Structure 1
């Protein structure tokens, strides 16, 4: 079996059906399994019947009914415990994959003789205005992670636009920390033990919905201390520190603040700006002058922001008063 899809259903919104249908419409029935975790205290009869009927109809669907609301991390770990595909892919409720997703992924894996550990792909971010994902990784290139560290800097911080080789997850007992949303820690642990990384940019392989964050927004940045410490512990930090720091500062200065700005919560935006400025201001000069990834980066939007963050910070604070 090629892919284990894991999805957590935390509420009764009908959008979950779109995610499920996009998986079961895949052409190659034998090459995947779908693991559905219903993370709810009170299960609704209609919803339960929908999944039970799917379970009866398709013998490649597995169901887990949580007896309480445990959260995504706990549920993802349950899914990992019972999955059996060569690769694992997480799907967020409401997101949909392309009809030929498995066929396309299988093509690239076979072309590279089944020697890919992590696969990242382009997607469309669905919001009030659709946003095309963008990466500065070379399209359709297989990176040797023991020699070329660019994916450590340029990997997208989303969990959902990637496939991970299950063998690595099992061999190193990687899982998610309960009660927090430490997606990037999971991704970077897998990066540390992977040999190959493929970025696909031939088409949009998934529609991902931009929705309000259902956990502490600070989880996005708080996990970076754990990422840095993990790489120090396995003695790889010094070798790739510039790549990790580039990803870290891009996360807190650009992606994180942009995400929070979508909440229209002025107090939260103010706290985030102050946090980012506090973490970055004293490191700014060294980062923009000496970080080799930053100096070579073609991401002019982030470079401009990093070089002028003091002005950006002050202007943003004025606008939210």
Structure 2
């Protein structure tokens, strides 16, 4: 018998799109599923829609909780899931009918801990997908981490579009209250894996909404959270002696500092500006330790 797979779907203000998402999951050719819908205190009819589907299919479990954000909702699903494997789908997105089947077969065939697929960004409900000419890449965990600064960066860093062995999340949870939550944890999950496999088949459909977090333009909080995520990642690469990855990641950190500095007038309080300058000074100390004089020279010129 096929192993149980848990699909965790956070739900918040998506009544317009939710049925499309859930229907794509219920149409999966892989049937042994546990579908966890986490109603994150949604003020629209999304919670009611979750209950309607749960009444129709006993594979669906619904959690109704106080609003805590995307990370908190995903964590709630992880805490109760029972599958040997976990997949995350955002509730305004949807997936190919063979999304789970293909990722599961790929994972088992290559004896991997994580399988990854490609995706399409779209604002259309109907998309023509061709998956026959796929390419397969098998990675060690370090080779997968190298993709964080290479062509498959987005595919590797997002939490969706993957099938994971559940035990990889035994000690890892998404950071509550943070934007760019995937940037904070996916590299940690990948580092715990023995092997990762990626297919270029486009099996995940990423809906482009103007009111989404990622589609709303410059966000000071978003940039500050991204800054913390990338600094943590750079320090992590330093701790495992992956110096090239560390240096490339710190280059990204430098660019984020410069972006924030260009918008420093958006800080509402002088204390916030001072906190930012303190963070910059701490980063300069890190760069001194890593002897990256290039960054020191340019940061001194670019950051107030």
Per the normalisation by structure 1, the TM-score is 0.67
**Partner of residue 64, structure 1:** 63
Q: Which residue, 271, 291, 294 being the options, matches 2:263?
A: 271
> Is the partner of 2:191 in helix, strand or coil?
helix
**Partner of residue 270, structure 2:** none
**Partner of residue 229, structure 2:** 223
Distance in 2 (CA, whole Å) between partners of 1:111 and 1:34 is 24
Cα displacement (A) at 1:42: 4.3
Distance in 1 (CA, whole Å) between partners of 2:122 and 2:144 is 32
Distance in 2 (CA, whole Å) between partners of 1:252 and 1:125 is 28
**Partner of residue 164, structure 2:** 164
Distance in 1 (CA, whole Å) between partners of 2:14 and 2:56 is 21
Distance in 1 (CA, whole Å) between partners of 2:96 and 2:36 is 18
Correspondence list, 1:74-89, <5 A: 74-89=72-87
Cα displacement (A) at 1:91: 1.1
Cα displacement (A) at 1:38: 0.6
* Distance change in 2, residues 1:12/1:187 (3 Å): closer
Instruction: Please give the per-residue CA displacement for 1:160-188, whole angstroms capped at 9, x wherever unaligned.
Output: 22222211211xx1001211132112101
* Distance change in 2, residues 1:221/1:51 (3 Å): same
Correspondence list, 1:146-295, <5 A: 150-154=146-150, 155-156=153-154, 157-170=157-170, 173-181=171-179, 182-201=181-200, 203-211=201-209, 212-214=211-213, 216-218=221-223, 219-232=225-238, 235-236=239-240, 239-247=241-249, 249=251, 270-271=262-263, 286=294
CA contact (8 A) 1:144 1:197 kept: yes
Greater shift, 80-89 or 207-216, is seen at 207-216
Unaligned runs of 5+ in 2: 128-133, 214-218, 267-276, 296-300
Cα displacement (A) at 1:253: 5.2
CA contact (8 A) 1:152 1:244 kept: no
Instruction: Please give the per-residue CA displacement for 1:180-229, whole angstroms capped at 9, x wherever unaligned.
Output: 1321121011122221111111x211110233453832223321222233
* Matched length: 252
Distance in 1 (CA, whole Å) between partners of 2:212 and 2:254 is 16
Distance in 2 (CA, whole Å) between partners of 1:28 and 1:107 is 10
